[in-house]
Amino acid sequence: MKDPGWPEGYARRVLDEVDSTNAEGLRLAKSLAGPTWIFAHRQVAGRGRRGRAWTDPAGNFAASLVLKPAEPPGQAALRSFVAALALHDALSTLVPGAELSLKWPNDVLLSGGKLAGILLEGSGSGRVMDHLVIGIGVNLAEAPPGAEGAVPPVSLRQGTGAEVAPETLLAHLAHAYAARETVFGARGFGPLREAWLARAARLGEEVIARTMRGETRGLFETVDAEGKLVLKTEGGRVAIAAADVFFERGT
């Protein structure tokens, strides 16, 4: 596979080992001059959404992109869709024909199993984000144990037989992200929303969205202009800003 080259305007730092690439990104954010990828050969204390642990067996992928968006939090958060699309782009290039899809709000699926997760963290002053860290973990070589009731994890090797080195994925992902970010900056969320929906898992099917306050069951109708999940329920259309989404049949 031809190396796409490193995108102009993006720096990178490669570490042998780190607790968490997101934690490192947050520590370094103020000192970085511009967009920077932080990649680790080994991550020993990765984390996912809602403080869950993220396990990284050897050969899997762990990296974070640190940005200084200077935007309102809601606008900056739409980069979870930018990152998901970029990861889908990179994996599709590296493993043509892989059955990939995107699960709201921030997972990439392979043949229905969870292949990758994306975690956004950051801080701001006033009404804008000072910095945003986009963490990406991909089960390239091995799938860790899954949580009960969640989408079962799968690895790229297990699901496709493909062997992709983490460094190779980093180069393709950085290239794909830069391209998607350019579209986002020039044209806004609209084109990315359409591209994301074209790759969405279970669109038009019944899903369950669970929050700390309860759950909402309905047909996955769309994602709105703010990135919210829109469900068609018995009581009408409901837009959900943040939740864990579960599929039927126990997944």
Question: What's the pLDDT tens digit per position in 108-150?
Answer: 999 999 999 999 999 887 789 999 999 999 999 999 876 555 6
> At which residue do the structure tokens 């991909």 appear?
138
Question: From CA 114, how far away is CA 154, in angstroms rounded?
Answer: 6
Are 25 and 37 in contact, with CB atoms under 8 Å apart?
no
Residues in the chain: 251
Query: What is the DSSP code (8-state) at residue 49?
Result: G
Least confident of 49-58, 173-182, 185-194: 49-58
Residue 31 tokens, joined: 């000192």
pLDDT by residue (tens digit) across 66-110?
Answer: 999 989 999 999 999 999 999 999 999 999 999 999 999 999 999
CATH 3.30.930.10: which residues of the chain? 11-198
Question: Residue 193 in 3-state DSSP?
Answer: helix
At 249, the pLDDT band (50, 70, 90 cuts) reads: low
- In whole angstroms, give the CA distance from residue 243 to residue 106: 11
Architecture of domain 206-247: Roll (2.30)
Q: Where does the chain hold its CATH 2.30.30.100 domain(s)?
A: 206-247
CA distance 27 to 41: 18
CA distance to 115, 179, 197, per residue, from 102 (Å): 10, 18, 8
Report the C-alpha gap between 218 and 59 in whole angstroms. Answer: 38
Query: d(Cα 137, Cα 55) in Å, to the nearest integer?
Result: 9
Q: Which helix (H) or strand (E) holds 23?
A: helix 21-28
User: pLDDT band at residue 178, thresholds of 50, 70 and 90?
Assistant: very high
Assigned fold of 11-198: BirA Bifunctional Protein; domain 2 (3.30.930)
Cα separation of 24 and 164, whole Å? Answer: 24
Nearest to residue 11, comparing CAs of 197, 220, 178, 183? Answer: 178
Say what the pLDDT of residue 248 is. Answer: 73
Cα gap 86→92, rounded to integer Å: 10
